[in-house]
Amino acid sequence: MPLKTSSFSKALFINNIKRFWPVLFGYCLAVVFALSSQLVNLSYRSFDYAYSFGQMLFSLAPFWAFIMPLAIITVAGGVWSYMFRPQSTAMINALPLNRKCVFYTNYISGLFILLAPVVLGAVIYLIGGMALGFTGLPALGQWLLIIVSVTVLLFSLASALAMTTGNLPTLVVLFAVSNCLLIFLEFTVRNFLNTYLYGIMFSWSSSEMLFSVATPLYWLADASNDIQNGYAAHTLSFVIYLLVGLALMVAACKLYQRRHMERAGDVIAIRPLYPVFIYGVALCASLSFGNLLAEILFSPSVHGGMSDFVFHLACFIFTGALGYFAALMLLNKSFRVFKQYKGLLVYSLILVLAGVSVYYDFYGYATYAPDPDKVVAAGITTGNGDYSAMLHSLEAEPSRNLNLRALPGLPTELALRIGSPLPEKAGNQGVGIYYDYSPYYGYSGEYQVRYSDNGQQHVYPAQRYSLLTADELQWLWENRRDIYATDAGLDAVADVHEYLVANIGTLRRDARHYGSYGAHDDMIWDNIYIAWRLDNGKVVMRQYPVVISAADYAKGTSELAHRLDALMGGDENRAKLLAYTRIPATELTEKITINLGGLYYRLYDAN
């Protein structure tokens, strides 16, 4: 019988819908119930309250992050289940349909089961919202883009993974791992670097994780939270999700057309992917179980020494070996795989070289110094200072908390635009920031700051987040105590950094020694944070743990203390300190004192 050349089979589509109608019905029920509950909540809101048609939609992000992958893997496991049993495979191949037609029909039917409940729920939500007086087509359209793009991406991913494996349990495991693999690997690598790469400084916020956007379910919740608060729409990232999903669909079709159907039942059905599977399992075992084993056995210190480093590498190699041989056993369906150890030797060697390069900083990370001509501002603080606020002030993003209330002489216009326009007399009582939510779209991007003063309400005009102008940036940097923007101040920061770089070997050795064995009473321990704002807007930051002899400090022979004293005693910092004290300069001594126990500086009152 000749094969049909069409790319779609109506009979096969209907058959799939009949087979998996319980999944379709259950998913419809869950989606409609969730959106209907939001309609009930919406009925209790008014236009003046900080909730809206759009915000109620995006507040369901945790629900979608939970229910969506369950529905996707259930549907994918169902429509591709015939490939995991030889009898079913033979039956499908006996149909007068070519492989392209079978693939796209199964794919479209699975996507229909996943998207039909979403569209139905959106229609019900729109009609219910209109009945309550809320209409928000733009917000609903944005929400549909997010849900559809993530669904297409993850279902295409599940379909592509189904082409590479020959049994259902492996598909479920691969799908679960792939949904958190990149951000998990980044987290574990960052943790290792934070322990053994001297000078590194990481933020653990999701917005600064490189692979958070490459983890759709994680990004779904994070982006929805941002959209609720009006920070960003993230539309581009979800359009890219949609395009990547379509590309994965095409790739899955190509794999299906070339797949050997007799591989049904195998863990990996495509032989060229064997090395990827073996070393992928070994790497994941090293970074996950290796870190866990290290924490259980000896708990590496914050700045791990040589003994910590060696034991940590040993845990990586041991757990990697377990993963390596386990993968071989699954592929060969035999326990007799230990003679295939040569690949493990190569893997272990690469792991050791990578670890040693980090420990001894082959990359020159700690000794990095930006081009002085490209530095427009620099910040320096210590463990007693607020390095996070310093970093945010250098980045100067209005959506960040810049902690400007304490700055003397804060211009009203700048304060309003930043979101901290509170006069000193307002204190911290009765303060609130009220975001404007439109009944037609959601968050409008505007906010008001209100505070109470002896029962009297003060409401500032509505403001909108926007980037700081060059003059506002300059004012901000000139008034923060830990930021330097003048030539003299930048030179003083560079002087401290040059000393740290010149003595990096000693500083690193001492930090690792005392980090592993504990600091003595005769030693002073702290962290020095240095950040540079470059002329291209990029901010670079380094963290230098330092251990200084208390005796050298007491004698005044500590070179680091001397350079820090020169920095803090400079004209720029002196003027800032005087402004912060709000005490007439005539009542203060001229000397700025330094207490190196926390690298903390202050002006002493002469009285």
What are all long-range contacts of 546-555, with beta carbons under 8 Å and residues at least 24 apart? 546/500, 546/507, 546/510, 546/511, 547/507, 547/510, 547/511, 547/513, 547/514, 547/519, 547/523, 548/523, 548/524, 548/596, 549/522, 549/523, 549/524, 550/521, 550/522, 550/523, 550/524, 551/522, 553/524, 553/596
Q: CA separation (Å) from 33 to 44, 63, 122, 135?
A: 17, 11, 12, 20
For 436-450, how does the pLDDT look when each residue is reduced to its tens digit (9 = 90+)? 333 333 333 444 444
Q: Does residue 543 surpass a pLDDT of 80?
A: yes
pLDDT tens digits, 377-421: 998 887 666 677 787 778 765 444 455 545 656 665 665 555 444
CA 132 to chain centre: 38
d(CA 587, CA 607): 7
Alpha-carbon span 464 to 471, nearest angstrom: 18
Q: What confidence score (pLDDT) does residue 446 get?
A: 43
- Return the closest-CA partner of residue 283 out of 324, 342, 313, 326: 324
If one compares 510 and 137, the residue with the highest pLDDT of the two is: 510
| Predicted local distance difference test score (pLDDT) of residue 246 | 95
Look at residue 411 in the predicted model and tell me its pLDDT. Answer: 63
User: Distance of CA 92 to CAs 86, 164, 171, 269, 503, Å?
Assistant: 10, 18, 20, 18, 70
| Residue with the larger pLDDT of the pair 6 and 184 | 184
pLDDT band at 536 (very low <50, low <70, confident <90, very high): confident
Helix (H), strand (E) at residue 294: helix 291-297
Average pLDDT, the chain: 76
| Contacts (Cβ under 8 Å, ≥6 apart) of 47 | 439
Hey, what amino acid is at 256?
Answer: Y
- Amino acid at position 168, single letter: L
Amino acid (1-letter code) at residue 438: S
Q: CB-based contacts of 355: which residues, under 8 Å, 6+ apart?
A: 196, 309, 312, 313, 316
Q: What is the DSSP letter of 374?
A: G
Q: What DSSP string runs through 224-237?
A: HHHHHTTS---HHH
Whether 488 contacts 500, CB under 8 Å: no
Q: Comparing 431 with 193, which gets the higher pLDDT? A: 193
Confidence of residue 598 (pLDDT cuts 50, 70, 90): very low
User: With 70 as the cut, is the pLDDT of residue 595 above it?
Assistant: no
As given in the structure block, the two tokens for residue 177 are 């791992």
Residue with tokens 């591989």: 263
What lies within 8 Å, CB to CB, of 223 at 6+ separation is: 146, 232, 234, 237, 238
* Better pLDDT: 18 or 133: 18
* 88 vs 607 pLDDT, higher one: 88
Question: Which of 161-165, 207-211, 218-222, 427-431 holds the top average pLDDT?
Answer: 161-165
H helices of 381-469, where? 387-395, 412-418
Q: Strand 375-382 vs strand 523-534: parallel, antiparallel, or unpaired?
A: antiparallel
What was the pLDDT predicted at 425? 41
Residues contacting 345, CB < 8 A, separation 6+: none
Predicted local distance difference test score (pLDDT) of residue 302? 62
pLDDT at 71: 94
Task: Count Cβ atoms below 10 Å from residue 190 Cβ, excluding itself.
Answer: 17
> What CA–CA distance (Å, rounded) separates 65 from 388?
30
Buried b (16+ CB within 10 A) or exposed e, 215-242: bbbbbbbbbbebbbebbeebeebbeebb
Q: How far apart are CA 193 and CA 204, in angstroms?
A: 13
Judged against a pLDDT cut of 80, whether residue 175 lies above it is answered with: yes
DSSP 481: T
pLDDT at 80 over 70: yes
Q: Which residue has the tokens 């993974």?
A: 161
- Half-sphere CA count of 91, side-chain side, radius 13 A: 9
DSSP 289: I
Task: Indicate if the pLDDT at residue 211 is higher than 60.
Answer: yes
Q: How many CA atoms lie within 13 Å of 42's alpha carbon, on the beta-carbon side?
A: 28
Question: Which phi-psi region, left, alpha or beta, contains residue 368 (left: φ > 0; alpha: ψ -120 to 50)?
Answer: beta
Maximal CA-CA distance, the chain: 105
Number of other residues whose CB lies within 10 A of the CB of residue 280: 16
Determine which of 12-21, 237-246, 382-391 has the lowest per-residue pLDDT on average.
Answer: 382-391
Please report the pLDDT score of residue 235 as a whole number: 77
> Quick one: which of 582, 590, 484, 500 has its CA closest to 545?
500
The SS3 of residue 340 is coil
Q: Which residues lie closer than 8 Å to 560 by C-beta, 6 or more apart?
A: 496, 499, 500, 546, 548
Say if CB 287 and CB 316 are below 8 A apart.
Answer: yes
Lowest mean pLDDT among 243-257, 273-287, 417-431: 417-431
Q: Do 368 and 530 touch, CB atoms closer than 8 A?
A: no
| pTM, full prediction | 0.76
Cβ atoms within 10 Å, residue 389: 19
Question: H helices of 137-290, where?
Answer: 137-164, 168-178, 181-196, 216-228, 235-258, 274-285
pLDDT at 321 over 90: yes
Question: CA 552 to CA 566: how far, in whole Å?
Answer: 17
Task: Quote the distance between the C-alpha of residue 357 and its chain's center.
Answer: 25
pLDDT: is 263 or 292 the higher one?
292
Q: Is the pLDDT of residue 270 over 90?
A: no
